[in-house]
Amino acid sequence: MEEKIIKTEYSEVMQKSYIDYAMSVIIARALPDARDGLKPVQRRVLYDMHELGIKYDKPYRKSARIVGDTMGKYHPHGDSSIYEALVVMTQAFKKGLPLIDGHGNFGNIEGDGAAAMRYTEARLEKVTQEAFLSDLDKDVVDFIPNFDETEKEPSVLPVKFPNLLVNGSEGIAVGMATSIPPHNLGEVLDAVKAYMQDESITTQGLMKYIKGPDFPTGGIVINKDELQEIYETGTGKIKVRGKVETEKGKAGKTNVIISQIPYPMIGANISKFLMDVAALSETKKTQDIVDISNQSSKEGIRIVIELKKDADVDNFINMLYKKTRLEDTFGVNMLAIAEGRPEVMGLRDIIRHNVAFQFQTATRKYTNLLAKEREKKEIQEGLIKACNVIDLVIEILRGSKDRAMAKACLTEGKVEGIKFRSKESKIMAAQLMFTEKQANAILEMRLYKLIGLELEALINDHEETMANIYRYEDILDRRDSMAQVIINELEEIRSAYAHPRKTVIENGAEAVYVEKKAEEMEVIFLMDRFGYARTIDQATYERNKEAAETENKYVFPCKNTGRICLFTDKGQLHTLKVMDLPFGKFRDKGVPIDNVSNFNGEKETVIAAASQMSLNLYRLIFVTRSGMMKVVDGGEFDVAKRTVAATKLGEGDQVVCVCPLTDQKHIVLQSAEGFFLKFPVEEIPEKKKNAVGVRGIKLGEKDFLEKVYFTQSGIDKTIEYKDKSFDLNRLKTAKRDGKGTKVRV
């Protein structure tokens, strides 16, 4: 076979391939259809269960059976994604109207996952059968080939209400995402009826019926006035609070009860909320908490926070709103596939698309029903006519040689070859003009149909058929009639499945939390070599002084209302509040400084730490790896920002030493290649923090400054150098910016 090479621009191939991939993810996987509110995987799971006959009144079937069948026939992707879609459609705490009835462990609101698919079972909910799948046999939607063209699947399900609003949707595509909150079924159906009765109705008019989102977890929406703009544009932020109540506890204490949570708190965020509340107590943000317990069960959420007797309950609740996710936001982006392309839609647009879909499916449904009734009418009229001349029909059948001869006589009046008893019969037979369908029905008619009651029933059926034809023609000819039929179906769904609203919609007042000022006291800051920091009181420090200084890299006093300054080798100064550090017993574990500051332990190293208050009393000496140095007034580091540049560094340079200038007399610089330079501290000039400084030592091409030492008058200074002791006082005092002396020990 001759090799064929197609030459093309690489960028064009990449662009086309990526666009194809992106559109595939957007259209065929991640975003719901505006008509039925379902993503492809959800639609395929429901259709497969329908095909398997797993109805609400039939036994449950293993989830693994459903997932495997769906994957093999319709959705050639991972089984985990199919099972996850099935699980979500069973969870009443995520969906306003669950579509699948799950049996077994399908997870819970606190974030526990579902059991493996081999353990759980499922079947369709009754509402899914009646409102999603019931009309599939009436050719109301198009069927398309599956991925390998061995099966047919519906391009959309004939859902009878805006499921996109009722159940909402969340999904991340390529370059876009959808986030639609769930709504109350009864309110949505009322809004649809209002739109069908007046298509010029505004979003404000629709909101007389749809007050706002109705989250399965309840809660309180507190920005009612902003909802109209959100529903106009399809984007915005909904602020949701949990429902908080109080009750009397033991010994005059007050219990704060959280009985409903914000919808975004579903899952692991409940445990995070409990940790955040505990952290408020640990970091002394509040000292009102006595105990926290999660008493949630199948009956609902119940988180109990026991407060002290004299606690300010209202202020504490406001603190929960401010400091935890008990008040959260739901980001709305009502993006769905409409007419084959992704579109951000407002409330009115979603209802408009769904109503147009309802009229489209109703037209196809009643067109097909009308065709069937007309076919029935034709056959019924033929049978009635045949019963009126039954003797002649029997004579034709007895006189014909085969079925074809009898059929030709009935349809075309051909009497050749047929034996008749009389000429009159032959003349009458020649005048018969049944249709082909009528003739087939006559030839297949059984003798018991000639009984009087059967004939009467046939006439009654014909009258019913004529009534159906008249009704279907009226529905198809008059839009008002079709609208009324759709409205009647909506009312039936409403009466069977609507439930009271769970979420309260109001304009909530801004939570005002007055933070109690902590009583100022002196504490001891401890930070170990792994970067874990905490504070203890002075008495605890005095009792454990030796252990504290042995086990920790930095130990110094500070005020609990002050800040800690961390100088890093990258020339950055990170500040953190002492209040953000845990205060407690000596053996309590601290928190990583990464968690309470902007420090990044993977990219930088702390080389000095000090209380911000104490820095105002000193000047600081900075020395870098390339030998640059300067003195900076400590007052320059009295800043409110969490991170500032502590010094200016050249390319590839690092800070080696940051040290307060006290009573040091000489500074000794040691290079990696063993050069030592000793000179008076007075020779280091004072500069601003954003200055580079001056050169302290001349270094070789590959040499760099490794260590910095200081000496004091009359005090010996001995260091370990190459595993031997070396007295720095042996070095001769030189001038700054010299090469230094090569030391050999």
Beta-bridged to residue 238, according to DSSP, are 330
Predicted confidence band of residue 457 (pLDDT cuts 50, 70, 90) = confident
**Residue 444: its pLDDT value, please?**
80
Q: With 90 as the cut, is the pLDDT of residue 384 above it?
A: no
| Signed CA dihedral, 82, 87, 90, 93: sign only | negative
Predicted confidence band of residue 193 (pLDDT cuts 50, 70, 90) = very high
**What string of H, E and C letters represents the secondary structure of 423-487?**
HHHHHHHHCCCCCHHHHHHHHHCCHHHHCHHHHHHHHHHHHHHHHHHHHHHHHHHCHHHHHHHHH
Domains within the chain, CATH numbers bracketed:
38-158 (3.90.199.10), 243-325 (3.30.1360.40), 353-496 (1.10.268.10), 522-742 (2.120.10.90)
Predicted confidence band of residue 426 (pLDDT cuts 50, 70, 90) = confident
Residues 6+ apart with CB under 8 A from 503: 212, 213, 214, 215, 218, 219, 220, 221, 240
Q: Which of 691, 602, 576 is nearest to 645 (CA)?
A: 691
The 8-class DSSP code of residue 96 comes to: S
**Residue 447: its pLDDT value, please?**
66
Cα–Cα distance for residue pair 277/112, rounded to 1 Å? 21
% of the chain with per-residue pLDDT over 70: 96
Largest Cα span, the chain: 153
Q: With 60 as the cut, is the pLDDT of residue 453 above it?
A: no
In the structure encoding, which two tokens stand for residue 299, read together? Answer: 């009956």
Predicted confidence band of residue 368 (pLDDT cuts 50, 70, 90) = very high
Q: With 90 as the cut, is the pLDDT of residue 239 above it?
A: yes
Measured between alpha carbons, how far is residue 308 from residues 251, 291, 405, 515, 535 in Å? 10, 9, 101, 17, 25
Q: With 60 as the cut, is the pLDDT of residue 25 above it?
A: no
Model pLDDT for residues 304-354, shown as the tens digit of each residue: 999 988 888 888 999 999 889 999 999 999 999 998 888 999 999 999 999
**Residue 2: its pLDDT value, please?**
64
Residue 740, classed as helix, strand or coil, is coil
Cα–Cα distance for residue pair 93/296, rounded to 1 Å? 13
Cα–Cα distance for residue pair 547/530, rounded to 1 Å? 16
Predicted confidence band of residue 206 (pLDDT cuts 50, 70, 90) = very high
Q: Is 119 a catalytic residue?
A: yes
Model pLDDT for residues 508-525, shown as the tens digit of each residue: 887 776 766 667 889 999
**Residue 24: its pLDDT value, please?**
59
Q: With 80 as the cut, is the pLDDT of residue 446 above it?
A: no
| Signed CA dihedral, 371, 375, 376, 377: sign only | positive
For residue 574, the tally of other CB atoms under 10 A from its CB is 24
Q: With 60 as the cut, is the pLDDT of residue 1 above it?
A: no
**Residue 518: its pLDDT value, please?**
66
Q: With 60 as the cut, is the pLDDT of residue 481 above it?
A: yes
Model pLDDT for residues 61-75, shown as the tens digit of each residue: 999 999 999 999 999
Q: Which amino acid is at 477?
A: D
Cα–Cα distance for residue pair 3/426, rounded to 1 Å? 77
Catalytic residue, chosen from 119, 263, 321, 470, is 119
Beta carbons of 736 and 678 less than 8 angstroms apart: no
Q: Which amino acid is at 168?
A: G
Q: What is the mean pLDDT of residues 617-621?
A: 91
Q: Which amino acid is at 135?
A: D
The 8-class DSSP code of residue 223 comes to: B
Beta carbons of 237 and 332 less than 8 angstroms apart: yes
**Residue 48: its pLDDT value, please?**
96
Q: Which of 639, 645, 533 is nearest to 578 (CA)?
A: 533
Q: With 70 as the cut, is the pLDDT of residue 449 above it?
A: no
**Residue 101: its pLDDT value, please?**
96
Q: What is the DSSP string of 642-658?
A: SEEESS---TT--EEEE
Q: With 90 as the cut, is the pLDDT of residue 724 above it?
A: no
Residue for token pair 């006559």 = 442
Residues 6+ apart with CB under 8 A from 328: 239, 240, 241, 262, 263, 264, 265
Beta-bridged to residue 657, according to DSSP, are 623
Beta-bridged to residue 507, according to DSSP, are 223
Q: Which amino acid is at 724?
A: K
- Comparing 215-219, 519-523, 686-690, which segment has the lowest mean pLDDT? 519-523
Beta carbons of 128 and 53 less than 8 angstroms apart: no
User: Phi and psi of 274, rounded to 5°?
Assistant: -60, -40
Cα–Cα distance for residue pair 518/577, rounded to 1 Å? 13
**Residue 26: its pLDDT value, please?**
62
In the structure encoding, which two tokens stand for residue 120, read together? Answer: 């759980």
User: Phi and psi of 339, rounded to 5°?
Assistant: 55, 40
**Residue 517: its pLDDT value, please?**
67
Predicted confidence band of residue 262 (pLDDT cuts 50, 70, 90) = very high
Predicted confidence band of residue 745 (pLDDT cuts 50, 70, 90) = low
Question: pLDDT: is 659 or 436 the higher one?
Answer: 659
Strand order in the sheet with 220-221: 169-172, 177-180, 327-333, 235-241, 220-221, 504-505
Q: What is the mean pLDDT of residues 564-569?
A: 93
Cα–Cα distance for residue pair 140/37, rounded to 1 Å? 17
Q: Which amino acid is at 11?
A: S
Report the mean per-residue pLDDT for the chain.
Answer: 89
Measured between alpha carbons, how far is residue 719 from residues 122, 191, 722, 730, 740 in Å? 75, 84, 10, 12, 17
Measured between alpha carbons, how far is residue 373 from residues 202, 465, 471 in Å? 40, 6, 11
**Residue 27: its pLDDT value, please?**
60
Q: What is the mean pLDDT of residues 349-364?
A: 95
Beta strands in 635-700, from DSSP E residues, in sequence order? 643-645, 655-661, 666-671, 675-680, 694-695
